[in-house]
Amino acid sequence: MKKNKAVVVIVLILALTIGLGVYAVDILNATNTQEDNGIILGLDLSGGVSITYQIVTENPSATDIADTIAKMEERAENYSTEYAVYQVGEDRITVEIPGVFDANAVLEELGSPGALYFIVQENEDGEENYSYDDDSEEDVPYKLNFTLEELIENGSVILTGNDVVSAEAGYQTNQYGSNDPVVQLKFTEDGAKIFAEATQEAAKNNDTIALYYNDHFISVPTVTETISNGECTISGHENFAEAEELATFIRIGAISLKLEELESNVVGAQLGSQALSTSILAAGIGLVLVMLFMIVLYRLSGVASSIALAIYTFGTVIVVQLFEITLTLPGIAGIILGIGMAVDANVITFARIREEIAEGHSPYAAIRDGYKKAMSAIVDGNVTTFIAAVVLLVLGSGTVKGFAYTLIISIILSLFTAMFVAKYLMQAFYAIGFKSEKFYGRKKERKTIDFLKYRVVYALVSLAVIIAGIGGMIYYRSTTGKELNYGIEFAGGTSTTADFGKQYTIEEIEKEIVPYVIEITGDSAVQATTVDESTKIVLKTRTLSLEERDALGTMLVEQFGVEEETIVSQSISSTISGEMRRDAVVAVIVACIFMLIYIRIRFKDFQFAASAIVALVHDVLIMLVAYVLLRLSVGSTLIACVLTILGYSINDTIVIFDRIRENLAGIDKPTPAQLYEVANRSLTQTLGRSINTTLTTLIMVTLLFIFGVPAIREFSLPMIVGMIAGSYSSLFIATELWYEMKIRMRSRTEEAS
């Protein structure tokens, strides 16, 4: 690169950094003040709309309620990946949607979930079941000629919403080659058979089959042919928005129960207004410290990585805002993991550059070859994590999907900034005159450390910690009935609403009211939310007995002057549904399988893949031990912590395995002694990188723990434990296990031959 071109590159990158920084700061300011151009925040960081529905259907079964909650979750996901749908009492369902503050607008778009019916045009006697209504003000001006009950009884209602598998808006090419908006329906197996018979009969005279929802018609399409494959399209829409609205009505009509809106409120942030500002402060301080750390450690290379890291951070904020991704604590975890991977890519590269200089190459050649040699480790680590993120996005729901979105964004941006921005800056710095090796450093000769010598000790230490966790689970199970401290999100609980006669901030509630609640419940897991334009406060706790509910009510009356008649207590189900939990478990298992396959293909060694997965399981178990022994509340943040540690640990392990693969190149059928030496040498060569990456990532998480509100501390503490466990397993478990598996496999092969 010529000097003039290098100057232009540096100026453009600095201008880009400043421009992105100004834009990102504007977004964060708008987010903090809840302006429209800010980031959409979840219920935990910002609050949103809470809508409670009354179940109209008499004597609903538990299965019907669970099915209805699952369908409502599908609808809520159209607004945000970070939603909550849960049962309240015996006959109510609450939907909480973050980032919106106009309850009426949400209700208008969400609709009042009711029953959906498919009605044929004529009954068996040839009488019209419905007719055009000139006086109707509905968008589809038709009226029933019989009562709905009569239509159901005489068989004119052929299907209900429960026979619909999916309803999606899309486009279909017409006879003139242009795209028309349509609604694409798919029926159940039984529904498809009934619909085929009905359309065969209707097509004879081009009759209609009407869709009747919640006491009015939403579509009356004409049937032109028999539909026997269980799928159909409804055309004739003026625009895509109209088709999407119809698809929405069909989806929310496909539920087992009829619901009516009971109340809707705008609720405040569950973590308080300071949660976001303290998180931003912690992130800002953390980034500055990480940059200083990199500059002190890697000199000019550290300057390049700091600029690249700034672009990554600003870019992530902007992309999250542009794509309207709802940000919650799990999303913040994904961004933190991305920061760690962005720093790691630079650390790997800079270590390679120093190695090249130590071998006698010029700084220019070292920069060129260092990036080439670092490429495989960086790509493999990021691709492995990216595969996991995509699987989580496809198979996960709720919190899992929110985490996956931010992680995918972070991986793409971290790769770009590390492999392009930092690289071009390094080349530009060299071109303008920074040509001495003192600006880049030289790798010091380090004696190979015998890591494998104490591999049995490492395994026993991990085993002892895991056994301590199992012992803790047995103890707490026998004494408290709960092996883990399940929070409201997993176990459900009691929601107590009371009018305090004056407005409180969340911070005031946590300081003045929550300690009294904890004294009664004996449990620190208390969620408090305020109701907008009201003096009501909602306190969610573990499930309370009748005596505890009375004690809580008495305390509110005596300590805070609450009117007893304003106190309402009711049981609530878990906000993380069983289906969401199953989705999370399945997504993690499938992600691990895909990672195992990728590692097996890339490294051409099953032992690499197997030992990497075992290391992941080890890290998750160690983190769970922290949850058991420290009695941390188990909620949605547990899912985020597990996913973060999986991504962090696999990336750490891949870098070491990549170095082992490189050091084994050219050795045909290595002996156990050669495997032993290569494993120790590879671990020693990557030790500095492992320590430095761990320290930079821990800086970010530790500052969240120091500056964060209590709930954020409960989120960051297990993250700290998990990251330490991930670094430990990469150095002392994964490689040692790989060695044991290799020599045992060799022994079996030799015995067999």
Place 112 in a pLDDT band, splitting at 50, 70 and 90. low
pLDDT digits (tens, 9 = 90+) for 184-204: 888 888 889 999 999 999 988
Which of 731, 509, 734 is CA-nearest to residue 612? 734
Q: Residue 741: what pLDDT?
A: 92
| pLDDT(753) > 60 | no
Q: How far is 109 from 76, CA to CA, in rounded Å?
A: 11
Q: Residue 577: what pLDDT?
A: 63
First to last CA, the chain: 58
| pLDDT(733) > 60 | yes
Residue intervals of the chain classified under CATH 1.20.1640.10 are: 3-37+272-438, 451-469+577-752
Stretch 56-69: mean pLDDT, rounded? 80
Q: Residue 14: what pLDDT?
A: 93
Q: Residue 593: what pLDDT?
A: 87
The radius of gyration computed from the CA coordinates of the chain, to the nearest angstrom, equals 30
Give me the percent of the chain exceeding a pLDDT of 90.
Answer: 25
4 CB burial (10 A radius; 0-12, 13-18, 19+): exposed
CB within 8 Å of 137: residues ≥ 6 apart: none
Place 330 in a pLDDT band, splitting at 50, 70 and 90. low
Name the helix (H) or strand (E) containing 732: none
Backbone angles phi, psi at 81, to 5 degrees: -75, -15
Choose the weakest-confidence range: 160-164, 196-200, 218-222, 556-560: 160-164
Residue intervals of the chain classified under CATH 3.30.1360.200 are: 116-254
Stretch 590-596: mean pLDDT, rounded? 86
Out of 3.40.1280.10, 3.30.70.3400, 1.10.10.10, 3.30.70.270, select the CATH number for domain 48-104.
Answer: 3.30.70.3400
| pLDDT(101) > 70 | no
Stretch 567-583: mean pLDDT, rounded? 77
| pLDDT(603) > 70 | yes
| pLDDT(179) > 80 | yes
Residue 730 contacts residue 649 (beta carbons within 8 Å) = yes
**Three-state secondary-structure class, residue 51:** strand
Q: Residue 57: what pLDDT?
A: 80
Place 398 in a pLDDT band, splitting at 50, 70 and 90. low
Summary mean pLDDT of the chain: 84
Sign of CA dihedral 581, 584, 589, 590: positive
Listed ranges 18-27, 107-116, 663-672; the one with the highest mean pLDDT: 18-27
Q: How far is 250 from 711, CA to CA, in rounded Å?
A: 39
Stretch 707-718: mean pLDDT, rounded? 76
| pLDDT(468) > 90 | yes
pLDDT digits (tens, 9 = 90+) for 271-305: 555 666 777 788 888 888 889 999 998 889 999 99
Q: How far is 300 from 437, CA to CA, in rounded Å?
A: 10
pLDDT digits (tens, 9 = 90+) for 210-223: 988 777 888 898 88
Q: Residue 113: what pLDDT?
A: 58
Out of 1.10.540.10, 1.20.1640.10, 1.10.3080.10, 3.40.50.150, select the CATH number for domain 451-469+577-752.
Answer: 1.20.1640.10
Residue 83 contacts residue 398 (beta carbons within 8 Å) = yes
CATH number of 116-254: 3.30.1360.200
Place 256 in a pLDDT band, splitting at 50, 70 and 90. low
Give me the percent of the chain exceeding a pLDDT of 70.
Answer: 89
**Three-state secondary-structure class, residue 122:** strand
Q: Residue 679: what pLDDT?
A: 95
Q: How far is 691 from 451, CA to CA, in rounded Å?
A: 15
The DSSP code for 544 is: P
Transcribe 250-310 into DSSP letters.
HHHH-SSS-EEEEEEEEE--TT-THHHHHHHHHHHHHHHHHHHHHHHHHTHHHHHHHHHHH
476 CB burial (10 A radius; 0-12, 13-18, 19+): middle
| pLDDT(43) > 90 | no
Backbone angles phi, psi at 708, to 5 degrees: -75, 160
Q: Residue 104: what pLDDT?
A: 61
CB within 8 Å of 337: residues ≥ 6 apart: 385, 407, 410, 644, 647, 648
pLDDT digits (tens, 9 = 90+) for 457-467: 999 999 999 99
Residue 695 contacts residue 293 (beta carbons within 8 Å) = yes
Q: Residue 455: what pLDDT?
A: 94
| pLDDT(563) > 80 | yes
Q: Residue 481: what pLDDT?
A: 82
Out of 3.90.1170.50, 3.40.50.300, 3.40.640.10, 3.30.70.3400, select the CATH number for domain 493-572.
Answer: 3.30.70.3400
Q: Residue 529: what pLDDT?
A: 83
Residue 542 contacts residue 491 (beta carbons within 8 Å) = yes
Stretch 304-314: mean pLDDT, rounded? 92
| pLDDT(578) > 70 | no
**Three-state secondary-structure class, residue 36:** coil
| pLDDT(226) > 90 | no
Place 235 in a pLDDT band, splitting at 50, 70 and 90. confident
Which of 412, 409, 374 is CA-nearest to residue 393? 409
Choose the weakest-confidence range: 470-479, 603-612, 640-649, 690-699: 640-649
Q: How far is 494 from 473, CA to CA, in rounded Å?
A: 24
| pLDDT(110) > 60 | no
Q: Residue 749: what pLDDT?
A: 66
Assigned superfamily of 3-37+272-438: Multidrug efflux transporter AcrB transmembrane domain (1.20.1640.10)
Q: Residue 292: what pLDDT?
A: 92
Place 752 in a pLDDT band, splitting at 50, 70 and 90. low
Residue intervals of the chain classified under CATH 3.30.70.3400 are: 48-104, 493-572
Token couple for 475? 């103890």
Stretch 566-592: mean pLDDT, rounded? 80
| pLDDT(526) > 70 | yes
pLDDT digits (tens, 9 = 90+) for 363-375: 989 999 989 988 8
Q: Residue 105: what pLDDT?
A: 60
Q: Residue 529: CA atoms inside 13 Å, Cβ hemisphere, count?
A: 24
Question: Which tops the pLDDT comparison, 197 or 573?
Answer: 197
Name the helix (H) or strand (E) containing 35: none
Question: What are the residue ranges of helices labelled H in 43-97?
Answer: 62-76
| pLDDT(47) > 60 | yes
| pLDDT(704) > 90 | no
Q: How far is 346 from 352, CA to CA, in rounded Å?
A: 10
Listed ranges 401-410, 608-617, 699-708; the one with the highest mean pLDDT: 608-617
Token couple for 62? 């538990």
